[in-house]
Amino acid sequence: MRKTIFKKMEAQGLIANYNRLRKNLPPKLPERVYMVDESFREGIKAPTVFLTYVEKLKLAKMMDETGIAVINIGFPGLTEEEKRAVKRIVNESFEKSTLTASAGANKAHVDACLEVGMKEINIEAPFNGLNLQYRLKITKQEARRRIVESIEYAKKHGLKVNFVLSDGSRTTLEDIIEVFEAAVAAGATKLSLADTVGFLRPLATRYLISHVRDDLSDAVKKNVPLSIHCHNDFGLATANTLAAVEEGVTYVHTTVVGFGERAGLAPFEEVATALELLYNIDTGVDLERIYRLAQLAEKSFALPIQFHKPIVGDNTFTHEVDEHVEGTLSHPLMFEPFPPEIVGRETSLFVGRNTGQTLLQSLLEKASIRASPRQIDEILRHIKGPQENLDKGEAQMAFYQVKKLLKDLQKGLAMPEFWRLVEQVTRQKPKFPEPKDKAEKTLQEN
């Protein structure tokens, strides 16, 4: 259905589809793109999120049914609890999805992945001056050594290794090429560039990916696929992910509904639907399951989906009947970009405050109902009355109570609370060294 509906409309001369013009089709556009889900790695970093094992398993199973190619099921080296949860999921059976897990560039994290029975892992590490100086406090040579040794160690123990360059979007091109070539020489079979703070814009993404691809050695270009991991701090994660695909990237990292730390990652449902419908690229995803997956994620994460969220929001295919939207009754594409059934949704029309008397009369006539002006006025009063009489203040109070409840679900402590707890338990007041710069001072104060 989704492969033919737009072509049929074009053939009938009813719409123009600029997405299919040859000039608008990037020459490096791949025929197949593989969806990589990071919900269990990135999604659970959202402050109010905690997933039980049962919730993780249900989500993973539905991701598998939906056709997501790769599921990152966690970071076993983070805690013993995380290790146990990952191990239990590894022992489950999956039909369509490959499982992977994250590890830092060190032996202990790789060992944790081996202990839980992983076959494939992502080794994540930064390689720019900011991270090396302020986070890891090591030299570039030391960082490269750790990356190479951890990949070699993992390969030696039978693991398939994907290398993820953290903060790759703020790393110089020369350094990206250097660490990517070193990673592949050590045994990495896939290379991923992470826009860790969502700093790129689409044209910058295309520039960076194209130059990375062009500057890599021929052997790497030919045999090692590229992957992209975009955060959504500027609301550009979907656009940047699609821009990377236009430059030939074949593995894209997303999370369900875009859940994740700060502003989250590229939303799975947006990227998958755009690739299928706007680019005509096969993702292996059963789009009809997208909405159910989003609903399950909303319930499990205890984070409400925005009403106006593209693809899966409550309002996306909902229209208040007026003179314009009445056209939806004559053809579903009149005011919708694609039939909602494609993603497991349906069009919903409602009569509300903006439905005028003339249109109401028209609706009744189409249903062979004859109503007097007095009866139409009464119908309109019943429609508008509940909204006009609604106590908005009471609704707002309930809204803020829900927000407070969600904040109360937060498992961690804000830094001031953490230091108060430390002082209470140790009976020692924290004493910090004199901060070297404003960043350190802010970290201490917060």
**Residue-wise pLDDT tens digits, 26-58:** 999 999 999 999 999 998 787 767 889 999 999
Query: Residue 309 to residues 116, 186, 247, 269: CA-CA distances in angstroms?
Result: 36, 42, 27, 10
Distance of CA 170 to the CA centre of its chain: 20
pTM recorded for the entire structure: 0.89
Task: Looking at mean pLDDT, say which of 340-349, 403-412, 430-439 comes out highest.
Answer: 340-349
Give me the domains of the chain, ranges plus CATH numbers: 16-301 (3.20.20.70), 318-401 (no CATH), 415-445 (no CATH)
- What's the mean pLDDT when you consider all of the chain? 89
The more confidently predicted of residues 369 and 149 is: 149
The more confidently predicted of residues 367 and 221 is: 221
**Which pLDDT does position 2 carry in this prediction?**
62
pLDDT tens-digit series, residues 292-326: 999 999 999 988 999 999 999 999 998 877 665 55
pLDDT tens-digit series, residues 335-385: 889 999 999 999 888 887 667 777 777 778 878 888 888 888 888 888 776
Which range (15-24, 97-106, 167-176) has the least confidence? 15-24
Q: For residue 165, which amino acid is it?
A: L
**Which pLDDT does position 10 carry in this prediction?**
82
Between the two ends of the chain, the Cα-to-Cα distance in Å is 53
Task: Place 412 in a pLDDT band, splitting at 50, 70 and 90.
Answer: low
- Considering the chain, what percentage of its residues have pLDDT values greater than 90? 65
Answer whether residue 145 shows pLDDT above 90: yes
Which token pair is 126? Answer: 């930064």
**Which pLDDT does position 202 carry in this prediction?**
98
Q: Do the Cβ atoms of 129 and 174 come closer than 8 Å?
A: no
Whole-angstrom distance, CA of residue 88 vs CA of residue 27: 43
